[in-house]
Chains A and B, each alone.
Chain A
Amino acid sequence: MRFFLMIHLYFDPGLGAMIVQAIVAAAAGVLLFSKNVMYKVKAFFGLTKKADDTYDSIDIEEDETQEHDSKK
């Protein structure tokens, strides 16, 4: 366990930075929720456009056949 901790703490994550994440996450949650609502409203009126850029989504495609930003 000591070793495990040592890997973690080879740089100081900062106590303030660890505590603040709860508030950062709450604010982010509100924002994401409202964006999601807006998106649904827009989608209802057909106002959304589908983007296919590599950096459009944080989620990496799990699809086996599709390479992320593949070597061409």
Chain B
Amino acid sequence: MIQKNKAHQASFRDPSGYVFKDGDTLRRCIQPIYFKQYRQLKSSGFFEQLIKKGLLIPHEETTVSEEEIVITPEQIPFITQPYEWSFEQYKHAALLTLQIHKYALSKGFILKDASVYNVTFHWGKPIFLDTLSFDIYEEGTPWRAYKQFIMHFFGPLVLAKYHGTEVFKMMQTHIDGIPVKLIASLLPRKSKWNSTLFTNIHLLAKMEQKHSEDYEVKTRVAKLSKKSQQNILENLFDFIKNLKLNETTEWGNYYTKTNYDASAFDKKKQMVHTWVTALAPQRLVDIGGNDGTFARTVLKDVSHVMVSDIDSAAVEQNYLESRRNGETNMVPFVCDVLQPAPGIGFNNTERDSLINRLKEYAPDVTLALALIHHITLSGNVPFEKSAEFFASFSKYLILEFPKRGDSWVDSLLKRKREFIHHFDFYNVENFEQGYTAYFDVHKKETVPGTNRILYLLKRK
């Protein structure tokens, strides 16, 4: 018997159906208003094809009645949001959306919306989540989701090209995508000389402005042939495919700048591997995991791994590496621990905060390697506070504490200049005092050849 505990907080915009939780299982309810489309998408083999190609999340029909159809999609352990993606991830999500819409058109359907929230990363690749985002194509109609695609995908990507991936964070303040006029105003003047940017952004912004007082909603007067629509899609696809960031984001390659030698590095890897596998975790999150070097040592032993880093270039490096290796159980994402993604949208609940998503994900183990000195010394976060943060979502915590004398710590301290003595509290005793308020120390070992201590902590 299906129990509808609660409709999902993000699921109210589209009248075709909604997502709800049945215990821990996420299900999707389809309303009679969408039965015709659903049945056609199903009987034509369209869903089957997209699922087979790994483009759409697989689902099973759970119940069918005259009032509603309930389907159960494959469960995704963790949903990353667009403002947590690296450039290549965002690009791939956009390209996937265009591929799906073009394929839909060829089968007599359309993508009726092009929201960036319809895509997330699963099985090491972007995947389309919203099974009800399709509709039947009406001959000669333009793409209704065109402007949405520009606001959700094309605009942010083009802006990132000129201003860097920080631009993606604008999506946190614009849940419906970045307004076209704003995109146009943020682009350099020379972008008007590019026919794709001129037509898809500058001209669109102008036309939107001109028709902004369209009280009669004469949307249906515009006509566009299927071939023309395909041209728009193909051109956007080619343009996005070739987009590159202007800033030289040669990946930082942090590990070449480590202050310890290769043997200490290998020893640290070995310790992490031994400690993690002894706990036999199902889910692990690596906070500040750079390009996933340490997470990769346990990838074969843990069924699902999340790796975050503040550096978008490191996350991208990790994503590309994971694609090259064909890894399917790791999701890289961008996260600034000092400013994790907030809850956004209506009631601040449409898109959940990172903290809530982490709590729901409930990792068995959290890795925080060479992170605490950044949190404490760059972010001025007291030990008890960061301990409280980690304890809020993780059972076990493997944390590396670089002591005074470690060159990174000393460098961060020097930057405090005349306030350096305000940070005298940064030492092992105070760290342990702060963390034992929330955790028990299970193991404590110095990484050989370094000024760093590795802790295995268990939440009280």
Is A41 at the interface (CB under 8 A from chain B)?
no
A31 with B195: in contact, given A17-B147, A18-B219, A58-B234 (CB under 8 Å)?
Answer: yes
Is A68 at the interface (CB under 8 A from chain B)?
yes
| Cβ A31 vs Cβ B54 within 8 A | no
Closest to B96 in A: A55
Q: How far is the CB of A28 from chain B (nearest CB, A)?
A: 3
Interface size on A, residues (CB 8 A): 42
| Cβ A13 vs Cβ B147 within 8 A | yes
Is A23 at the interface (CB under 8 A from chain B)?
yes
A68 with B95: in contact, given A25-B224, A28-B232 (CB under 8 Å)?
Answer: no
Is B98 at the interface (CB under 8 A from chain A)?
yes
Q: How far is the CB of A17 from chain B (nearest CB, A)?
A: 4
A residues with CB within 8 A of B: 3, 6-32, 35, 54-56, 58-61, 67-72
Q: How far is the CB of B67 from chain A (nearest CB, A)?
A: 15
A59 CA to B147 CA in the complex, in Å? 22
| Segment of B197-205, B351-359, B418-426 in the binding face | B197-205
Q: State which of B15, B125, B223, B233 has its C-beta within 8 Å of the C-beta of A7.
A: B15
A15 with B218: in contact, given A20-B199, A22-B228, A60-B103 (CB under 8 Å)?
Answer: yes
- 5 A-B Cβ contacts within 8 A? A6-B15, A17-B208, A20-B204, A60-B53, A70-B54
A9 CA to B112 CA in the complex, in Å? 9
A32 CA to B203 CA in the complex, in Å? 19
Q: Which 10 interchain pairs have the tightest Cβ spacing?
A: A28-B235, A16-B207, A25-B228, A17-B147, A68-B53, A72-B326, A18-B222, A16-B208, A16-B211, A13-B144
Tell me the dominant secondary structure on chain A's binding face: helix
Is B296 at the interface (CB under 8 A from chain A)?
no
Is B92 at the interface (CB under 8 A from chain A)?
yes
Q: Give residues 280-295 of B contacting A (CB, 8 Å).
A: none
A29 CA to B125 CA in the complex, in Å? 31
Chain B residues closer than 8 Å to A58, beta-carbon distance? 95, 98-99, 102, 233-234, 237
| Cβ A14 vs Cβ B211 within 8 A | yes
Q: Give residues 251-267 of B contacting A (CB, 8 Å).
A: none
A54 CA to B88 CA in the complex, in Å? 13
A68 CA to B125 CA in the complex, in Å? 11
A25 CA to B222 CA in the complex, in Å? 13
Q: How far is the CB of B229 from chain A (nearest CB, A)?
A: 7
Chain B residues closer than 8 Å to A19, beta-carbon distance? 207, 211, 221-222
Q: How far is the CB of B429 from chain A (nearest CB, A)?
A: 48
A20 with B219: in contact, given A7-B135, A25-B231, A60-B53 (CB under 8 Å)?
Answer: no
A29 CA to B238 CA in the complex, in Å? 12
| Cβ A32 vs Cβ B234 within 8 A | yes
A16 CA to B237 CA in the complex, in Å? 22
Chain A residues closer than 8 Å to B198, beta-carbon distance? 27
| Cβ A8 vs Cβ B112 within 8 A | yes
Is B118 at the interface (CB under 8 A from chain A)?
no
